[in-house]
Amino acid sequence: MSALNIILLTGRQSEAPHDEGEYPHYLCEYNGKPLIHKLIDNCAVLQPRRMICTFSNHDIARLHLRNMVPQMHPSASVLPVHNITRGAACTALLASEEIDNDDELLILSVSDFLDIELQDVVRAFRESHEDAGVVIFNSLHPRYSFARLDSECRVIEAAEKNPISSNAIAGVYWFKSGSLFVSAAKEMIRKDARVNDNFYIAPALNELVLLQKRIGAYRIEPNQYRPLKTDSQLHAFEAGEMR
């Protein structure tokens, strides 16, 4: 079995830095732990080789994240994002030096909290001999990424912020190798497959479809998916209104 690397994406970098008294959403606390710490704990059961956490350079300096994050887990590290990127795919590609290899890759959004066991997800993809996989739930809201499935519940098309099906992607992407993701994302960018002027991860799956790769889908219930994108959702998280 290959080693596993994980990228935790903290979301699109803001054009305007946080005020000195404000903290980004990934530091919202739950049971005394920042969100990023809880997510790292959830990932630790996978025994990853690396957990690469992306943060703006401004936040790294202001919040001393280089001191904080490695104390959360020995494999956790900080990847600075020095400038505004053109979407999640571009941000993930900043880690190419560490992920463009045969190790498995798991990409997670810090703005999406799932009440599931990640080892069950990864095990399902491995046992089905998938080349890639996504976690899906039922929704038609255009804020999400979407996957169209065939009769065997494999992805045959993906779209960003366009409900081509009711299979919304829950911000979790697994790849049999990091190099598979890197090559697909680069090909997507070469084709200029932008959405709202940004490059997202979901459309990169279409490049794998063209290569006839097997892309699995792990379904969860809608109540197992907790978006953390609005103030009310973050307040509910801090109040302990989720597991």
In this prediction, residue 194 carries a pLDDT of 95
Q: What is the pTM of this model?
A: 0.93
Q: Mean of the per-residue pLDDT values for the chain?
A: 92
In this prediction, residue 15 carries a pLDDT of 44
Q: Which two tokens stand for residue 7?
A: 């990228």
* Interval 214-238: pLDDT, tens: 999 999 999 999 888 777 887 777 7
In this prediction, residue 230 carries a pLDDT of 75
Whether the CB-CB separation of 222 and 158 falls below 8 Å is answered with no
In this prediction, residue 20 carries a pLDDT of 54
Contacts of 118 (CB under 8 A, 6+ apart): 42, 43, 45, 46, 106, 172
**C-alpha Rg value of the chain to the nearest Å:** 17
Percent of the chain at pLDDT > 70 equals: 93
Neighbouring CB atoms inside 10 A of 197's CB total: 7
Q: What are the structural domains of the chain?
A: 4-238 (3.90.550.10)
Neighbouring-strand partners of residue 218: 135
Q: How far apart, in Å, are the Cα atoms of 52 and each of 84, 119, 131, 242?
A: 18, 18, 21, 25
